[in-house]
Structure 1
């Protein structure tokens, strides 16, 4: 029997919880460590490590001392800051793009130039470094209009301004907040989807797709958040439309990465919108998404370890096999999120219910006496034979909780035709 290996996951949120849990399930894996991790991870056999995700030297030292076969990097800021480059320089394997490749998420302007260069369909757009010029040009695509911070914003640096007055206010706020550049785009309409592509230097596999819900409140109202819930599969997306996305978006993107000599080994998230004119890319992320990861990995029956291990070693990738089961998840967030989330609210011990999975994120204390630690606290997720059954199971669980200092959306999955029970 082959020797099982140790792995390290970098990050601390719900995404990293789901990644580490999935890797720990592999028969090839002895122990998954997560740095810094969170207090909920031991519930799925994952060992948190008190090393900051920004302490690259400390992470490298730990990986060496604990005979870590390879490291899976979760957060985008670490990737943009070059964690993979540092690991490689130290002779260690890390799954994720280099700092150069990570600019596809680190700079909206860089990503749009990449799409333009390699024929990837996206919205009409203009980048601005000057506030006066941005204000003068804000109406060229009509209203509503999309205004984006150029740099990393944790999924929250996007404003859809309904009219000129709000657009001008947004531009002023973004430049006043320290943005050196922002992007103004036409507002596209259609359903949005999340596609995750696992890449190995030009070879790729497509993971299960999901639909995220970015706005804070029911009916897609309120500010953009990091994501309030997700589900997979997507009954409203036909097989023909999925193939169109692959042909018109995925293939030119991958061909561009090869032509540009990016040598990409990692995940590329493609945020899509299906318009009347076909699929268009809203954004690239250079890692798995949160909360989509928490619903797509439970549907992945292919061993995640084998996928990543072969990708890192430039070996033929196994086929991706998706479960026929549906996955559905809703985020429980702290009141005030995303602007000013409260901290420290008592959560107690969440009830154990068969079939219900709790992916912990921003929590503190102990499992039997948890406290909120700001932002999105956790996700309640389940697998069921149908999306409707999965939805009902999750919302029944949430309805039984007494968490007055938290909130969640009640309409996750409505765009898939799911109904409230």
Structure 2
């Protein structure tokens, strides 16, 4: 990069808040716009643009008018809907896979067949496009069985059925809704990890590993959510197992993208489970994860904007330098999430708190600072860095204990698998 750049980030959540902040820290970035963004982003001088992430024509017009260097796409919906294809048709640089490649997240069946084709370890699976066949298919799987919506489900389309009655009920409910296809999978046991790979057609780089907490309540109880917190690094993951993830999963996944001739310039998220027989892939996503992004990007000691810019220009990627510091984030969600989240609760004014150890990434909020209100779902992530996971964890929970959140909840055990501590 020879001159300072102005860029656009598409999306509105905590992930996008973290992406914008990381880009702004680069000496090469002059300004970051976020569309549509959220009102909490103003705490970091991010200029929000009231354009939907699916309003491709309006977004392109904005990019042209402002003469922006490139666009970074946060959410999967826009990628699966073809935002990259649309931008490229107009000759605009955009970070993310095209619609065909985005089907690795858009369809569980396509992703599983990709893994099968290119020798990437995963669970035994079968896909069904009607209720009768899916119910019949249950006999080929031991209990518990994993039942997944084939399409996008914002992290909430997975059920682990412990008995046949529950499995049958879930299959019927999936088809009674919007799903036209359901995937049954073998249940895998072991700790889960999140790996993010920056990929272009020539090269790839791996970002720091993280661990997400999908279940709504402490002790990994309750329904699956989009994620209730995360931390990085993951000290309980030893070097041998991490290396196995790279050689058995990451390398063949990237090689598979090349062999399948997928036009991929973006993030490949690999959700892994470390079983007794080695690492296996649970899922692919085609973008950064939420809330893992919030704890991964602060750990980069190298320039994130430079990495993205180089990737977009299809060059050999710079080395990713990782800081030894730890980062942990706890999501504050609306009461009732994920089934029926309450809205409009007044949130405490976190912008006035001068605790230098704390960062807040806002997501589903509305109103104007300092009087922000919840807008349903996951509202914000409270983060801290430290010399260890224990220190970062202590910082976050000590801060949360000083705040009053009406009609909200958060888990008290984020990071406990690394520290043994629950708050």
The TM-score bracket by the shorter chain reads: over 0.9
Q: What does residue range 127-276 of structure 1 map to in structure 2 within 5 Å?
A: 127-276=127-276
- Secondary structure class of the residue paired with 1:146: strand
CA distance in 2, matches of 1:378, 1:264: 30
Name the structure 2 match of 1:10.
10
Q: 2:391 aligns with which of 382, 389, 392?
A: 389
Q: CA deviation at 1:353?
A: 1.3
Is 1:367 the counterpart of 2:378 in the alignment? Answer: no
- Secondary structure class of the residue paired with 2:139: coil
Q: Do the aligned partners of 2:202 and 2:314 also contact (CA within 8 Å) in 1?
A: no
Structure 1: stretches of 5+ with no match in the other structure: none
Q: 1:407 aligns with which of 377, 385, 409?
A: 409
- Residue by residue over 1:261-304, the C-alpha shift from the partner in whole angstroms, topping out at 9 and shown as x without a partner, is 11210000000000001000000000000000000000011111
Q: What does residue range 26-41 of structure 1 map to in structure 2 within 5 Å?
A: 26-41=26-41
Name the structure 2 match of 1:417.
419
Structure 2: stretches of 5+ with no match in the other structure: none
Q: CA deviation at 1:414?
A: 1.6
Name the structure 1 match of 2:66.
66
Name the structure 2 match of 1:277.
277
CA distance in 2, matches of 1:299, 1:168: 44
CA distance in 2, matches of 1:324, 1:64: 40
Name the structure 2 match of 1:324.
324
Deviates more, 1:38-47 or 1:291-300: 38-47
- Secondary structure class of the residue paired with 1:305: helix
Q: Do the aligned partners of 1:202 and 1:254 also contact (CA within 8 Å) in 2?
A: no
- Secondary structure class of the residue paired with 1:403: coil
How many positions carry a matched residue from both structures?
A: 421
- Secondary structure class of the residue paired with 2:311: helix
CA distance in 2, matches of 1:69, 1:111: 32
- Secondary structure class of the residue paired with 1:201: coil
Q: TM-score, normalised by structure 1?
A: 0.99
Shift in CA distance, 258/348, structure 1 to aligned 2, threshold 3 Å: same
Q: What does residue range 349-364 of structure 1 map to in structure 2 within 5 Å?
A: 349-350=349-350, 351-364=353-366
CA distance in 1, matches of 2:67, 2:25: 19
- Residue by residue over 1:184-226, the C-alpha shift from the partner in whole angstroms, topping out at 9 and shown as x without a partner, is 0010000000000000114100001100000000111111000
- Secondary structure class of the residue paired with 2:209: coil
Deviates more, 1:128-137 or 1:63-72: 128-137
Q: CA deviation at 1:178?
A: 2.2
Q: CA deviation at 1:2?
A: 4.1
Q: Do the aligned partners of 2:389 and 2:419 also contact (CA within 8 Å) in 1?
A: no
Q: CA deviation at 1:56?
A: 0.3
CA distance in 1, matches of 2:354, 2:367: 18
- Residue by residue over 1:90-113, the C-alpha shift from the partner in whole angstroms, topping out at 9 and shown as x without a partner, is 010000000000000000000011
Q: Do the aligned partners of 2:96 and 2:266 also contact (CA within 8 Å) in 1?
A: yes
Q: Do the aligned partners of 1:387 and 1:418 also contact (CA within 8 Å) in 2?
A: no
- Secondary structure class of the residue paired with 1:175: helix
- Secondary structure class of the residue paired with 2:77: helix
- Secondary structure class of the residue paired with 1:348: coil
| Deviant stretches of 4+, over 6 Å | none
CA distance in 2, matches of 1:130, 1:306: 47
Q: Cα RMSD over matched residues?
A: 1.0
Q: Do the aligned partners of 2:202 and 2:315 also contact (CA within 8 Å) in 1?
A: no
Q: CA deviation at 1:136?
A: 1.5
- Secondary structure class of the residue paired with 2:332: strand
CA distance in 2, matches of 1:360, 1:352: 17
Q: Do the aligned partners of 2:332 and 2:408 also contact (CA within 8 Å) in 1?
A: yes
CA distance in 1, matches of 2:312, 2:346: 42
Q: Do the aligned partners of 2:347 and 2:406 also contact (CA within 8 Å) in 1?
A: no
CA distance in 1, matches of 2:168, 2:414: 32
